[in-house]
Amino acid sequence: MKSSVTQQPATKTTTPAQQSHTPRSAQPMQLMTSPSGAFSASQLMQLQRTAGNNAARQLIAAKSSSMPIQRLTEEDIESRSDKTKLKKLRDLFGNKLGVMSALYHFNDLTFDDLFEAASSLDDLEKRINTIAAKADTAKTAKLASEAAAAAAPPPAPKAKEESKEMAVPAPKKEKKKKEPKENLAALLFTGGTKTVQQAVDVQAIATNPILNAWIASKPPSATIIERRIEVSVETVYIYATVRIPDNSVPGVPQVNVYNIEIHYHPVPTSANYLHVKRSAGSDAGNIIAPTSWLIPRGKDALRDAVAQWNDAYPDRPSPHAW
């Protein structure tokens, strides 16, 4: 008699390699949907083998373009040292590329343009020096070109070719000279008004001797206009423009224009709390009185300067009450 044995279903064993949850072909899609956007060398090699070099380059470019670009803003300048460095960088830009500098006409970018494009103050300084170097190269090339053009000899006139046949010219008829017509307008309007060339503005640099003379007395016909007031870490800057007519060249009237800075320390630590400098340099020690004509609007400007200082630094109010 045969014994009946119930057959059990065959059990399929799997190896650890067969228990992988994700097939190799799906790994590039995991890379593309990864929130971190970081790729290891092995992942990039796997992506190149499965999707090709073009797909790998496109994925890397897409991830790179989606990352935010850090830009420098006014909110980043919080510490006292950063504000001081920003003031130094602004002065550096003015000395090298500002209106009164020799490289002004060889640069199209402003300080605000470089500030918005920079990622840090060190990057801003690097950008200023780079633009200044390019402007200096352009200026040197232009001066060299102008010097070469001035030193080049004028072109020699072409020699006239001699006529092979010596023809006898016909005698010329003498023309009667016309007598000049009498200028009746000149006789009728003698002593009348004449056209005078319009005055031309000429940018100039206010040197120490000029500033010392201005502090002593105001030049005749001189005018001063306030441009703006800025508050820094220790100083309030009152920017102004001095205009003085110049008729030293007959028939060519012009106006000399000087940009100056009035440095005002609302919380003074010395007697030199109010002095004037030329905007393109650092001439110190030019002490002026609060009633000097070099302060546009006089004490009204000083009162505005104190108000802006107190708003910026309420913990260090100014004792001045103009």
Model pLDDT, residue 12? 46
User: Mean pLDDT over all residues of the chain?
Assistant: 77
pLDDT one-digit tens code per residue, 193-234? 555 567 888 888 888 888 888 989 999 889 999 999 999 888
Contact indicator for 80, 57 with CB cutoff of 8 Å: no
- For the chain, the structural domain boundaries read 27-66, 74-142, 200-312
> pLDDT exceeding 90 applies to what percent of the chain?
27
- Pairing mode, if any, of strands 223-231 and 236-246? antiparallel
Degrees to nearest 5, angle at CA 158 with 157 and 159? 115
Across 101-115, 141-155, 255-269, least confident range: 141-155
Model pLDDT, residue 20? 44
Which pTM value belongs to this model? 0.41
Across 44-53, 145-154, 182-191, 289-298, least confident range: 182-191
pLDDT one-digit tens code per residue, 25-74? 445 555 554 444 555 556 666 766 777 777 767 666 665 555 555 667 77
Model pLDDT, residue 273? 87
Non-local CB neighbours of 208 within 8 Å, separated by 6+ positions: 278, 283, 286
d(CA 181, CA 177) in angstroms, rounded, equals 12
